Structure 1
Amino acid sequence: MPFSSSPAAPVGAQLLIAQPDYAKRLRPLLPDAAFTPDRGTLPVLGLNGAILVLGWAMARQLQVSHWQGLLLFLPFALVMGNAVVVMLFGTHDMMHSKAIRQPQLRQVIQLLGLALLWMPPTLWKAVHNREHHGKTNSEQDPDRNYNASQPASWGKSIQNLFVPSVEVNPFWLSVGMTSAWGVHAFRNITSVLLFNNGSTRYPVFSFQVSRRERRQIGIELAVIVLIHLCIIGFIGLRPVPLLLGYFLPIWIGYSVVIAYIYTNHMACRATDTNDPLINSISLKMPAILDTLHFNFSYHTEHHIFPGMNPEYYPQVRALLQEHYPERFNLLSARQAWQLLRQTPRHYLDANTFASSCGTIIQPCPLS
């Protein structure tokens, strides 16, 4: 069912405002330095890459008989998991900016930054920069909730199983925290590599890439597979070191990443007009997490100014609270998560959520 919203469509007593209109109004109120590429991201990525390499080297030395060493490694696995998060969020910011101007170096950094996420950079540019940012929470957004009217598919079934909602089983939600990112990547990779016809049924929305992009995605995926095989071979084919040094950090990283991503848009109404203050949520997070994660919690701010240096997102937030206090979705992480757990996850229409079986119907809580 296509969404029905337009620039004149009401949201409560409000009208939708397109993203460029926010940017046009707020840009003169921000310093020019806010739009200068952040050169500090690359050293941070290098540091976290070194943390991962150190962790794999430590895991290589782990012995099952030395249980004290295994226990001591667990806190470092948490640090490695955070490094996985940093690699995604830092690379995400770099791919929205021109922080690295040399094309070959930029391509290598992007590939290394996204390798542990199983995300070819060329696909990320298509699915995230082009499709998601250009069509946020619209019918054509590959990152939105499924529509209730979309036919059953394995992609939709897995999302029903994994995504936080009023009907999700806590066990499968826990499994999904470690696995949903992988499902997202697999769904989009296979759609463009195997079909690329714009009519694949199992993604949320099937988009197409050019022939050149498709070839590049295939090459990058092959390199990513090789990188993972090299990591596994370096640690060694021993279950406990592989579990602690390879799988556990990835599971931790994926869980943190998907926890952020779930709260970005899923509790919001759908909008054919890309209105970031209506279709996005920003989170109030502890300062230490904002520092570690490049202010990723400032998500509405990011959708208004995707290429901005993230250090300046707090200034954008202050302006949004001043100029658009009644529109701005600013929640604590707990509040955002509660909204997800208290509502169904399918769009019955742009303003209404429905459960997978259709028995629970609720208006969008942020309309």
Structure 2
Amino acid sequence: MNDFHPFGWYAAKISPHLPKKAFQPVRSRLLGGLAYLLVVTGGILAVSLFDFHPVWNLLISIVLGFSFAALGFLGHEILHGTVVKTPWLRDLLGALAFWPLCTGPKLWRKWHNATHHVHTQHEEKDPDAWPSMEQLAKSRLLRWVYRIPFPVRASFAFASLSVMFTVHSIRMLVSFWQDFRWKNRIVVLCQFLLPWTTWIGLLWLVGWEKWLFAFLLPLLVANMIVMGYISTNHRLNPLMPVNDPLANSLSVTVPKWVDVLHFHFSYHTEHHLFPAMSSKYYPLVKEQIKRMWPDRYHEMPMTKALAALWKTPRVYYEHNELIEPKQGHVYGTLGNGLDPDEIAPRRREEDAEASPATRKAKWKNASGAGKA
């Protein structure tokens, strides 16, 4: 695929084939949020007030984690303005939905709506994009990480999904802090601190053991579920100068009942084409994409996408490939030679004829680049 188009180009061609109601807010989504809120409240009260066997508390924690994640998916939809349009109500409901994940609405809209969606998979401007070889050479931390053997690093990366959304949210707070005016910084900081104050207050009330099951374990479960989706959204796709959702995004498939419970969060290409549309109508968008551009659309089961992530590195080489820097193994990306059913690397042309000693020396030189 050599000709790329911005998301508006696709949206203009699909829109005439969609019903007018698809472009209106869907307030009924709040009923699902209310149901999850009741489950979360009931689960936390059950763990806090009763002395259940740890096995039962663990099961409650898993349900709470699933509910935390689902509320996050709803919060994502709310803050795109697809549930309510009134700004103050949108932010209030979004804050409540994101409360378990401790992410504030003003920061989220700056980081996700105004930056990630506008600059998706741009090497320098997308805050969620993974690094290129050039960025690797400038980062001492990344150079250290990529000295770790690939299987060990892949195992650690998947384990870290249990904390990654929380960690990345804090990183985005620091990264975008200077972009806010002083009066907005106070709001952003309050929106960050209030949820944490609530959960730390719960710790003070119920003690470590009950807090572990009422919040900490659910938060880890929620991180794992949320990052299970987010990690497949773009990480198998190339870096691109053009924000083309059919090239830079992946939709995954999950059982229909999971799609319902997760507010159709799996439809990610569709979301990047119509971020201001309720995900309730994304199945209709998918039908039109597959009718108009079946060869461009990237879709696969989530389990297969996660397996592909496990088997490939996360550093970009020449923007449209992934590379394991130390060995020089290069993998394709979606639309650029990656076959999820048979993932196999090739060696860079400049490394193919080099001796192991030469390749090792080149890696050491690259690893030392940018040191002060």
Provide the TM-score with structure 2 as the length reference: 0.83
Shift of 1:365: 4.3
> Highest relative contact order (Cα 8 Å, sep 6+), 1 or 2?
1
Shift of 1:178: 0.8
Task: Name the residue aligned to 2:131.
Answer: 146
1:110 correspondence with 2:94: yes
Task: Name the residue aligned to 2:25.
Answer: 37
Matched residue type, 2:84: I
Shift of 1:17: 1.4
1:279-328 CA-to-partner distances (Å, cap 9, x unmatched) read: 00011210011000111111000100011121111111111111101100
1:315 correspondence with 2:300: no
1:12-48 CA-to-partner distances (Å, cap 9, x unmatched) read: xx31111100000000000001111111122221221
1:257-277 CA-to-partner distances (Å, cap 9, x unmatched) read: 000000000000111111000
1:46 correspondence with 2:31: no
Task: Name the residue aligned to 1:89.
Answer: 73
Runs of 4+ residues deviating >6 angstroms: 157-162
Matched residue type, 1:129: N
C-alpha distance in 2 between matches for 1:321 and 1:142: 29
SS at match of 1:149: helix
Question: Cα 1:188–1:77, aligned 2, differ >3 Å: closer, same or farther?
Answer: same
SS at match of 2:322: strand
C-alpha distance in 2 between matches for 1:19 and 1:97: 18
Question: Cα 1:365–1:209, aligned 2, differ >3 Å: closer, same or farther?
Answer: same
Instruction: Find the structure with the greater CA-based Rg.
Output: 2
The answer (yes or no) to whether the contact 2:263–2:279 under 8 Å persists in 1 is yes
The answer (yes or no) to whether the contact 2:111–2:176 under 8 Å persists in 1 is no
C-alpha distance in 1 between matches for 2:181 and 2:41: 35
Shift of 1:249: 1.0
SS at match of 2:127: coil
- What's the % identity of the aligned pairs? 26
* Aligned pairs for 1:290-301 within 5 A: 290-301=259-270
Question: Cα 1:341–1:170, aligned 2, differ >3 Å: closer, same or farther?
Answer: closer
Question: Cα 1:255–1:307, aligned 2, differ >3 Å: closer, same or farther?
Answer: same
Matched residue type, 1:51: V
Shift of 1:113: 1.4
Task: Name the residue aligned to 1:262.
Answer: 231
Shift of 1:104: 3.5
1:217 correspondence with 2:202: no
Task: Name the residue aligned to 1:23.
Answer: 11
Matched residue type, 2:8: P
C-alpha distance in 1 between matches for 2:333 and 2:8: 25
SS at match of 1:134: coil
C-alpha distance in 1 between matches for 2:144 and 2:12: 40
More helix by share: 2
SS at match of 2:67: helix
1:330 correspondence with 2:318: no
Matched residue type, 2:187: Q
Unaligned ranges ≥5, structure 1: 1-10, 197-207
* Aligned pairs for 1:178-193 within 5 A: 178-193=162-177
Measured on the aligned residues, the alpha-carbon RMSD in Å equals 2.3
How many residues get paired?
333
Question: Cα 1:95–1:159, aligned 2, differ >3 Å: closer, same or farther?
Answer: farther
The answer (yes or no) to whether the contact 2:154–2:310 under 8 Å persists in 1 is no
Shift of 1:152: 1.8
Task: Name the residue aligned to 2:161.
Answer: 177
Tell me which of 44, 57, 61 is aligned to 2:45. 57
C-alpha distance in 2 between matches for 1:148 and 1:116: 36
Matched residue type, 1:221: F
Shift of 1:211: 3.9
C-alpha distance in 1 between matches for 2:282 and 2:186: 36
Unaligned ranges ≥5, structure 2: 337-372
